Amino acid sequence: MDVPVLHRLALNESPYPPLPPVREAMQRAVAEAHRYPQFHPDDLTERIAAWCRVPSDRVAVGSGSVGVALQLLQAVVRPGDTMAYAWRTFDAYPVLAAIAGAQPVPVPLSPDGHQDLDALLAALDHRTRVVVLCNPHNPTGSLVTAGALSAFLRRVPRRVTVLLDEAYVEFARGADLPDTSALLDAHPNLLVLRTFSKAYGLAALRVGYGLGAPDLVERVRRQQLPFGINAVATAAVKASLRAESELRLRVDTVVAERERLRRALVSLGWCVRPGHANSVWLAAPDPVDEGAAALTGAGVQARHYPGEGLRLTVGDRNANDTVLTALAGVRVLGGAART
């Protein structure tokens, strides 16, 4: 018999529903649902730009950050072009490459779950149009540090666009975090992707944005579907920006729970490296398939990559305790010796 799903920890969603003022703003927008949203999302773009402290011609808003990524690919990819990215990674990249007609060039992660920047650079050739970096990385949570990112960007030829996906950036902690908006002037071929789906908890509403040099942003904006950002989502994002301090507290709670989960899993014998997203990554040769089965049996939906890894979204305390109880029943061979 199937065990009912009690905890959804497979999609790196926020465990928190929208804050009351955000919900109220959405309700007010629903009451006006017979009206179109703006033809182009100019108000929202300006609001996001002011919040990011950049001029508004550096911001392109889209239908989730995947929507912005697709707009970028549609703007730059020509027949025969390729798109390089580290693999394993976010499942959408190959899908977007296929839609835009780019040939994917997956480059294996290094054994410790980092994007192998030297191998990515070595994979670039005259056909490469786009290289994707995901930072923090999905699914491993690994981080490309400020110094490594700057060195990487200096070595990427200008004709290659760098798509830097920062969907999880709000969850990253540490002294060596890149300040990507400071890199935009020096790298007109860089588009930084951000989203309201993760830290801001609005995954269902589909709003993301890209930051880049004005010329690149203009090209991305030209691919924007007219009336494409809906009014309820716009209201929710604006209200979320007003509620930023409360949302940041929620992010701090997720980060604290991530660290609690990691420490507890390490003490159970799992080899868990520090991560910077709202998730924890368990990797083979630890018994990830047995772990996945134990979680399913406990009503926890996690993201299982058979034989390879298990990505657990950090949930609320109760969900995380359920995870720990389920995984405590899985024997990890040699765990203590490795950690």
Ligand X SMILES: Cc1ncc(COP(=O)(O)O)c(C=O)c1O
| Residue the block writes with tokens 């926020």 | 14
Contact call for residues 156 and 124 (beta carbons, < 8 A): yes
Smallest gap from Cβ 310 to ligand X, in A, equals 16
| Residue the block writes with tokens 């730059």 | 76
CA 54, CA 138: separation in Å to the nearest integer?
27
CB-based burial label for 192 (10 Å; 0-12, 13-18, 19+): buried
Please pick, from the candidates 85, 90, 209, 281, the single residue that binds ligand X as defined by CB under 6 A: 90
Smallest gap from Cβ 114 to ligand X, in A, equals 15
Please pick, from the candidates 45, 65, 224, 313, the single residue that binds ligand X as defined by CB under 6 A: 65
Q: Give residue number: closest CB to ligand X.
A: 64
Q: How many CB atoms lie within 10 A of CB 295?
A: 24
Residues 6 or more apart whose CB falls under 8 angstroms from that of 20 comprise none
* Chain center to CA of 244: 19
Smallest gap from Cβ 11 to ligand X, in A, equals 6
**Taking CB under 6 A as the rule, does residue 132 contact ligand X?**
no
Per the DSSP assignment, residues forming a β-bridge with 7 are: 300
Q: Which of residues 24-53 bind ligand X (CB under 6 A)?
A: none
Among the listed ranges 63-71, 113-121, 234-242, 262-270, the one in contact with ligand X (CB under 6 A) is 63-71
**Taking CB under 6 A as the rule, does residue 115 contact ligand X?**
no
Among the listed ranges 47-55, 62-70, 104-112, 257-265, the one in contact with ligand X (CB under 6 A) is 62-70
Contact call for residues 209 and 68 (beta carbons, < 8 A): yes
CA 120, CA 13: separation in Å to the nearest integer?
29
**Taking CB under 6 A as the rule, does residue 64 contact ligand X?**
yes
Contact call for residues 207 and 61 (beta carbons, < 8 A): yes
Tell me whether residue 264 or residue 310 sits nearer to ligand X (CB atom).
Answer: 310
Tell me whether residue 3 or residue 95 sits nearer to ligand X (CB atom).
Answer: 95
Smallest gap from Cβ 334 to ligand X, in A, equals 31
Identity of residue 194: R
Cis peptide before 139 (omega within 30 of 0): yes
Q: Which of residues 165-224 bind ligand X (CB under 6 A)?
A: 165, 167, 195, 197, 203, 208
**Taking CB under 6 A as the rule, does residue 10 contact ligand X?**
no
Smallest gap from Cβ 132 to ligand X, in A, equals 9
Reading the block at residue 320, the tokens are 């995380």
CA 123, CA 83: separation in Å to the nearest integer?
10
Total number of residues binding ligand X (CB under 6 A)? 13
Smallest gap from Cβ 205 to ligand X, in A, equals 9
Among the listed ranges 16-24, 46-54, 64-72, 107-115, the one in contact with ligand X (CB under 6 A) is 64-72
Q: Interface residues with ligand X (CB under 6 A)?
A: 12, 64-66, 90, 134, 138, 165, 167, 195, 197, 203, 208
